[in-house]
Each structure stands twice: as structure tokens, then as C-alpha cells.
Amino acid sequence: MEKLRLPRADLGRKPSKRELFFFVFMLIGIMILFLNWLWFPQSKSLKSLGANLKAIQMQVDAAQELINATKKRLRDMRSEMKDPDKDDAYVNKVLNRPVGNISYEVSSATDLLASHRIARKVRILKMETGKSKAEKGYTVVPILIRFSGRYAGIRDYLKALENFERPLVVKTIKVEKKGAGSNILLALIKADLYIPKGLGA
């Protein structure tokens, strides 16, 4: 039986126009598949990630501006406490508000700081008080508040502190991103609660 002979490839032969056209057509097809399956989805993902990072950075920048404005307002409030303006109804109301004993005042203030009315848009992570100290005319109780939320929630909580119903002076505010790609912010506030002296323990 005669053996089947395969045609030998002539490597020195120039490809025909038809073969060249077929080869180019195959390359174009492979490039289209690559773009559709790999490049375009990755490109869209990178654009989406870039947009999210830009939005988060804008929120952080806006939060920093709000913090700076709040610090200025709180410095003014601290000055008002040292030398109250008799014509400022809000300052008068806060400083002349009827109070109970020190324990009640501290408990009442921390409950209010964590209440739904003030903290409805944020999550309170930690609320603790430090050792009280005596100052002229007042007993001062340090309060630490750690909370998280979106930019709007952090903003509203800081604004609520401007009209807080107790003599509360914010000393420091720290805000940072929860993590890369997250739109949740973490905030830490250190404040002093002023309680008029002469109250029962």
C-alpha cells in the first residue's frame, strides 16, 4: 500500500495576496476581541475608580474647609465664654441655663451628644469622659467623641455643636478617610464641658 505523502511547505515562496489578506483579517479580528474582552472593561473600571477617588478627595477637602470654619466659630465661642456678650441671646441662654449636679450634667450632655436629634446622620463609635478639673467659675470635664459617617453627616454633626445646649468647647477635631476607595469618614473630637461651680457632686 502506497504511503500518504503530505505536501511540503515551500518556505521560500512569497505569500499570495489572498493569503496576505486572510492574515491581516485574522490580526484585526484578534485585536477586536482583545479590545472588547480585556481593554475596554479595564478602561471603564479605571475611569470609574478615578471618578470615585476624585469624589472622595472632594469630600475630604470640603470636610477640611468645614472643620476650619467650625474651629474659628468654636474659638469665638471660647472667647464668648471668657467674656460673655450680654446682648447675645444664645450665649446668655447657655450660660444661665438651670443645671443640676455635676454627675447629672455630664450624663445629660453625653446623652444629648449621642442622641438621634444631633447624631442621626452619623454613627457614634465611642463616647467617654475624662477626669474633671477646676477652673475659674467652672468645673471642666473633658469629653472624647469618636464617630463615623459620610461627609454630609459629619458636616451636620459639627454644625449641631455650634448651637449645643451646654457650655461645650471643642479643643481639637480630626477627620480622615476610613480607607482607600471608601466614602466613609472617621472623626475624632476632643472637647471640654463647662459646669458652673457651686453645684452638688
Q: Are 72 and 80 spatial neighbours (Cβ–Cβ below 8 Å)? A: no
Model pLDDT for residues 151-182, shown as the tens digit of each residue: 999 999 998 988 888 888 889 999 988 877 78
Residue 110 has which C-alpha cell? 453625653
pLDDT at 200: 46
Beta carbons within 10 angstroms of residue 135's beta carbon: 10
Model pLDDT for residues 74-96, shown as the tens digit of each residue: 666 656 555 555 446 656 666 66
Please tell me which residue, 51 or 118, carries the higher pLDDT value: 118
Model pLDDT for residues 120-129, shown as the tens digit of each residue: 999 999 999 9
Q: Where are the alpha helices (DSSP H) in 89-171?
A: 89-95, 102-113, 116-119, 151-162
What domains are there in the chain, each with its CATH number? Answer: 47-196 (3.30.70.60)
Find the helix or strand (DSSP H, E) in which 49 lies: helix 40-82
Model pLDDT for residues 48-66, shown as the tens digit of each residue: 666 667 776 776 676 677 6
C-alpha separations of 113 from 98, 122, 197 in Å: 19, 11, 22
pLDDT at 124: 95
Q: To which residue does cell 489572498 refer? A: 18
Q: Are 191 and 93 spatial neighbours (Cβ–Cβ below 8 Å)? A: no
